[in-house]
Chains A and B, each alone.
Chain A
Amino acid sequence: MTQRRSHQIGTGLFILLGFAALAYLATQTTSLANYRQGPTYALKARFTNVGQLKLRAPVKIAGVRIGSVSGIQLEPDRLEALVTLAIDNSYNQLPDDSAAAVFTSGLLGDQYVALKPGGSPEMFKDGDEIILTQSSMQLEELIGKYLVGGGDAPGSKPAAAAKPATPESETH
């Protein structure tokens, strides 16, 4: 039956279109789009406070995504957060004195790890630890500090990314 056949073809096209739309939505408009990662290498960083940082949060340099957070654990002996970063292999020219900081995208957005390149001639290798880190700025702490008036930003190690007051957002 030609009519039955044309229905079957139409149904096939419809199902194809529907799944294409679904696949597009699922892969291109969600965090899956950020998984276009080939091989990666791991870097570690310790923070006294990671704030709202989540697994799979982006790792950026100058606002450009170079990898993602692959693990967040508490180190029992030092009571610090040990964050593992999976960096794309194509970005293997990171000076080993680069600094890591937990930033917030926009005023209320998600948190991400920003790397600030240093000037060392040596490059990070797989499994290296980023020594210079700066913890997440908690809004409460900022407000408290502002009210009390001065004092060191609590919970921050001396970092190359000097003033955390202007968190970079990737807004262009």
Chain B
Amino acid sequence: MSDKPARGSLIGDGLAQIGALGLFLLQILAAVPRSLRYFTETVRQIFFVGAMSLVIIVTCGLFIGLVLGLQLYDVLSRFGSTASVGTVVAIALYRELGPVVTALLFAGRAGTSITAEIGLMRATDQLAAMEMMAVDPLAYVVAPRFLAGIIAMPLLASVFNAMAILGSHMVAVSWLGLDNGTFWSNMTGAVDVWTDVMNGVWKSAVFGAIVTLVATFQGYSTAPTSEGVAYATTRTVVYSSILTLAIDFLMTAFLM
């Protein structure tokens, strides 16, 4: 894993990266049973990747909701169907915006810090020291962060969705004068728990796995220098965003 884009065929490099990522995923999955004895470490990581991301998730969720409310009210008023603002906001959020935007924010907030943290542990020999103390870094460092991502992302996406719905409600009902009952009854009439809400929960769990997989992989295989860590952090955001959106498309296409 060079810290600069290597010369040579772009496709070959890309395939090699994907292959290495896949192998790393297998290694993590193999390490998960062993990591269960470090349960408190997983709890600690849920705190760092989850609870510490709440501020950005709550703020961005609220703003997305406000914007969606304004835009949709404007567009739907041309068709005389402003009553559906709540419905459209909820479905758009549950199915796509909630999981995807949360994943992108998560990559920027938690993914980068995971990469930088593991990269620094690599650079300062902390990972080698664990190996020498007969502690498997995959089980102690990587797997807990991976599990924490899978657990935290659906919860973060739910908080994001709730904030966005509150935001759109604020715009549509409190500012633009849509009837409160209309807003909610249209939403409850059209949104389904399984096809909409839970679908988004599965998606965000998968996205949480993708972001933490890329982040831990980049940190783990970083060149042990400060430039190496910097490159790896950038790559975490780029690769995890691309992978998230690509897999979102595949999941939407095949699972709906």
Contact = CB atoms under 8 A, between A and B. Distances in A.
B50 A14 contact: yes
B188 A30 contact: yes
B103 interface: no
Contacts of B44: 4, 7-8, 11
Contact of A34 (B40, B182, B189, B198): B189
A142 interface: no
A143 interface: no
Interface stretch (A20-28, A77-85, A93-101): A20-28
A26 B193 contact: yes
Give chain A's interface secondary structure class.
helix
Interface stretch (B104-112, B124-132, B152-160): B152-160
A74 interface: no
A170 B183 CA distance: 11
Contacts of A10: 47, 51
B197 A34 contact: no
A29 B155 contact: no
A114 to B, nearest CB: 14
Given A14-B51, A34-B188, A4 B193 contact: no
A8 B146 CA distance: 18
Interface string A119-161: 0000000000000000000000000000000000000000000
A75 interface: no
A65 B188 CA distance: 12
Interface string B186-198: 1111111100111
B205 to A, nearest CB: 12
Contact of B83 (A11, A33, A34, A171): A171
Interface in A12-41: 13-15, 17-19, 21-22, 24-26, 28-34
A145 to B, nearest CB: 24
A67 interface: no
A49 B167 CA distance: 41
Nearest to B61: A21
A58 to B, nearest CB: 7
A105 interface: yes
A160 to B, nearest CB: 25
A172 interface: yes
A29 B90 contact: yes
Given A18-B156, A105-B189, A170-B182, 9 more contacts: A11-B44, A14-B50, A14-B155, A17-B54, A18-B155, A25-B158, A25-B162, A29-B187, A109-B186
5 contacts: A7-B47, A8-B43, A17-B54, A22-B158, A25-B161
What are the nearest 10 A-B pairs in CB distance? A18-B155, A14-B51, A22-B158, A21-B158, A33-B188, A21-B162, A11-B47, A30-B191, A7-B47, A21-B159
Interface of B: 40, 43-44, 46-47, 50-51, 54, 81, 83-84, 86, 90, 94, 151-152, 154-156, 158-159, 161-162, 165, 179, 181-182, 184-193, 196-198, 201
Interface of A: 4, 7-8, 10-11, 13-15, 17-19, 21-22, 24-26, 28-34, 58, 65, 105-107, 109-110, 169-172
